[in-house]
Amino acid sequence: MDPEFILPFSGRNVSGTYDNNFLWRFGSTYIMDNHGAALWCWLQHIDNVSKYELLHIDQHYDCLSSRIEEWLEALPPNLNKLTFEEYRHLSHRSFDGLGKTPTIRFDNYLSIFLKLYSSSLNKCAFVTQKKGINQTGITKRKLLIFSLLATFFMFSMTEIGLSILI
């Protein structure tokens, strides 16, 4: 498979909570500027039979759950069949009356994944700087290798994260 831009690079713009400036793929490796796209990327490869391991390296947990039921209710049943364009434009009417708001964001994609697909995971590990609240419900174990990884990856990075589904 040749490398491809699923979403062509639109410049060095701020992606913020909702925007995506690019999504690039080579096989099962994806590079993006907004973590919210990671869920769509994983859905292109996971199945209902295999078990996976998730390693999340980031400054934050990316597991906002404050409106998890609202977000899950807004998702279509065929989430894994959506094109990236359909996925990134998913929105719903928020209960607070603010109008339509994007459903999957940089800070909730992982909580949505864990809620919908946790039975597909053998292991899940977070290497973070403990920014935000760990709402995953996952028991944390202190492993030296993860501490070393966290130190290495977080030393000079503040906005870059890495989530790997193996």
Three-state SS at 4:
strand
- Cα(136)–Cα(112) distance, integer angstroms: 10
In total, the chain counts a number of residues equal to 166
Q: Which residue has the higher pLDDT, 153 or 27?
A: 27
Task: Return d(Cα 107, Cα 110) in angstroms, integer.
Answer: 7
Asked if residue 159 has pLDDT above 60, the reply is no
> What Å distances lie between residue 26 and 3, 5, 152, 165, CA to CA?
4, 9, 25, 15
33-86: pLDDT as tens digits: 988 999 999 999 999 899 988 888 877 778 888 899 999 999 999 999 999 999
How many CA atoms does the CB half-sphere of 1 hold within 13 Å? 10
Give residue 90's pLDDT band: very low, low, confident or very high (50, 70, 90).
very high
* Average pLDDT along the chain: 81
* Partners of 60 in the β-ladder: 131
Question: pLDDT, tens digit, for every residue of 99-134?
Answer: 889 999 999 999 999 999 999 998 888 777 766 666
What pLDDT score does 135 carry? Answer: 57
pLDDT band at 31 (very low <50, low <70, confident <90, very high): very high
Q: Is the pTM for the entire model greater than 0.75?
A: yes
- Exposure string of 58-95, with b = 16+ CB inside 10 Å and e = fewer, is bbbbbbbbebbeebeebbeeebbebebeebbebeeeee
What's the mean pLDDT in 18-41?
A: 92
Domain ranges of the chain: 49-165
